[in-house]
């Protein structure tokens, strides 16, 4: 069994932070800003992963900020060691480059709590520091999962690809499975999507809260692991059997009367874009009772209104159980609103989706 490490900082306690970054400017900037925030104290800094691994057992930080690109021991290798030896919330600091996006997605699937994009210009530093501070406070409410073994599992850089992925148009009676996730979502999707069978007689749509520039890397990674085709949605895409579409970060995704994907940058809903509620509302209007909604780990209540719509037209709603959520926010909101048909731990959700799809086809 994987070990769960609840992180909970009492309201009257200070969040202890370790800053890990090879840039002296970033170490100073992050530390200086965070130390001015109420309830946060930087207890140390390290210029690479090797230094960090020495300091963690000594300083016992509650949260770690971790650069992705570092000498000696890079952020991904350091994260593996942290999650195996000293599990606690880690917030990655990532560049906006293609390589940075790939490494960020890898970090999130390995258990990083969240990430913040490094500013391209020094003028943007304050806004980024504010985001770091907010995510540190949120991280204190997270459940952190560590691997069952005492040593980290080294993941190959090149994953084996599935061949012969068959994609076909969706038949009118076949369900549409809509999966929504936020904080902790990439790791949850890394478990769920590869477990769905290649012959699943349903179309699948994923909305993961994520900024522009990162969802393509998420889709590409999941595609290497999954018997289903996984791709970032683009305008004109249709929901098809054998394929998983992932809503592009930074855009709301809806489907027009022809069933074609349309992206927009309308204002955020619940503070996020893409929003699960926006996509769910669109899909329910098109597919009605053929909709199966799955709400995974995440903060807030995005997806709740959409799940209410799903239930109102006779569709089904699955919520992730609290025991496996990094943050039991969105699934909790769905459950407490009375909209969930099933509340299921993450390792069992793929099996339940298959059952629900088959039941739908049998019972019409």
Indicate which residues carry an active-site annotation: 182, 209, 302
Give the whole-angstrom CA distance, residue 84 versus residue 308: 39
Nearest to 241 by CA among 224, 262, 227: 227
Q: How far is it, in rounded angstroms, from Cα 253 to Cα 233?
A: 8
Answer for the pair 276, 207: CB distance below 8 angstroms, yes or no: yes
- The tokens 């791709």 sit on which residue? 231
Nearest C-alpha neighbor of 145 from the set 183, 190, 112, 106: 112
Query: If you compute the radius of gyration of the chain from its CA atoms, what whole number of angstroms results?
Result: 20
As a whole number of angstroms, the distance between CA 132 and CA 91 comes to: 8
Using alpha carbons, select from 236, 282, 281 the residue that is nearest to residue 260: 236
- Tokens (6 digits) for 286: 């098109």
- The rounded distance, in Å, linking the Cα atoms of 20 and 82 is 12
């Amino acid at each position: 069994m994987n070990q769960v490490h609840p992180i909970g900082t009492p309201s009257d306690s200070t969040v202890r932070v370790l800053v890990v970054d090879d840039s002296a400017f970033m170490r100073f900037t992050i530390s200086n800003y965070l130390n001015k925030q109420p309830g946060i104290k930087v207890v140390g800094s390290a210029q690479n992963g090797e230094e960090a691994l020495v300091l963690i057992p000594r300083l016992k930080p509650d949260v770690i900020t971790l650069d992705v690109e570092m000498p000696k021991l890079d952020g991904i290798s350091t994260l593996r060691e942290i999650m195996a030896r000293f599990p606690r919330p880690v917030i990655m600091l990532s560049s906006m480059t293609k390589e940075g996006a790939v490494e960020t997605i890898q970090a999130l699937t390995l258990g990083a709590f969240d990430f913040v994009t490094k500013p391209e210009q020094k003028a943007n530093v304050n806004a980024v520091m504010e985001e770091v501070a907010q995510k540190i406070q949120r991280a204190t409410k997270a459940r952190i999962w560590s691997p069952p073994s005492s040593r980290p599992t080294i993941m190959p850089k090149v994953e084996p690809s599935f061949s012969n992925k068959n994609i076909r148009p969706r038949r009118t009676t076949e369900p549409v499975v809509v999966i929504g996730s936020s904080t902790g979502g990439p790791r949850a999707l890394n478990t769920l999507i590869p477990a769905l069978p290649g012959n699943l007689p349903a179309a699948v749509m994923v909305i993961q809260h994520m900024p522009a520039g990162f969802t393509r890397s998420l889709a590409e990674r999941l595609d290497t692991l999954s018997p289903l085709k996984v791709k970032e949605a683009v305008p004109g895409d249709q929901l098809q059997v054998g394929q998983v579409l992932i809503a592009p970060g930074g855009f709301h995704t809806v489907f027009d009367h022809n069933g074609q994907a349309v992206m927009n940058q309308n204002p955020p809903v619940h503070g996020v874009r893409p929003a699960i509620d926006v996509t769910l509302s669109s899909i329910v209007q098109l597919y009605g009772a053929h909709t199966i909604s799955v709400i995974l780990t995440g903060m807030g209540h995005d997806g709740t209104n959409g799940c209410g719509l799903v239930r109102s037209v006779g569709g089904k709603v699955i919520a992730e159980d609290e025991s496996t959520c990094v943050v039991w926010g969105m699934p909790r909101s769905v459950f407490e609103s009375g909209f969930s048909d099933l509340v299921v731990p993450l390792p069992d959700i793929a099996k339940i989706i298959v059952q629900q799809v088959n039941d739908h086809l049998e019972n019409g």
